Amino acid sequence: MEDWEQEVDSINWKTMLAEIDQALLDNLAAEIGFRSYENLENASGLVAEDYHICHLSDNRWAFWNPHTYTREDPLFFDEKDTVIDHIASMFGLEKEKVEQLRLGLEQVHQANHCQYCNYEFHPDSGNTEWDTNKYCSAECAMESVLHEMKEDFVE
């Protein structure tokens, strides 16, 4: 019994809670279609009060909040006007603010879909090491090339 108590006493609860929080954020990212929360953040724009929006490669819009994720699933919208109506209603936006929202959404870049791992990603136009329109990372680009080479070798 004392061994168990010592184990519990030695747990770093702050570290454990931070790991759980990070796992929840990565789960949110995976639910939206991204490899990691960092990738989701890079592809998203801040709307207001920790609510974010991202434009997915299939032309849908995802509206999400990392702080309410455990209680609210991310919302997906097929059309930009629908997401604008939802946000305007949620925050009680006047006509002038709705126009600002519309202009802000124009600044949100559409994500790409990695042809190797199938995750969404924000294309990095400054990186020329791999085809940033097809692959989310150099690793996926290399794995794709290796996979093609293996297929050619087997034939």
The mean pLDDT value for 1-13 works out to 73
**CA torsion, points 4, 8, 9, 13, in degrees to nearest 10?**
170
Beta strand segments in the chain, E? 44-48, 51-55, 61-64, 75-77, 112-113, 120-121
Q: What is the pLDDT of residue 53?
A: 97
Comparing CA positions, the residue from 31, 53, 35, 34 lying closest to residue 44 is 53
Confidence of residue 14 (pLDDT cuts 50, 70, 90): confident
The Cα–Cα gap between 140 and 123 comes to 14
The mean pLDDT value for 35-43 works out to 93
The mean pLDDT value for 36-55 works out to 94
Full-model pTM:
0.81
Average pLDDT along the chain: 88
pLDDT, greater one: 143 or 13:
143
Using DSSP's 3-state secondary structure scheme, residue 106 falls into: helix
The Cα–Cα gap between 24 and 45 comes to 20
Lowest mean pLDDT among 84-93, 103-112, 143-152: 143-152
What percent of the chain stands above pLDDT 70? Answer: 92
pLDDT tens for 116-143 read: 999 999 887 455 566 677 888 888 888 9
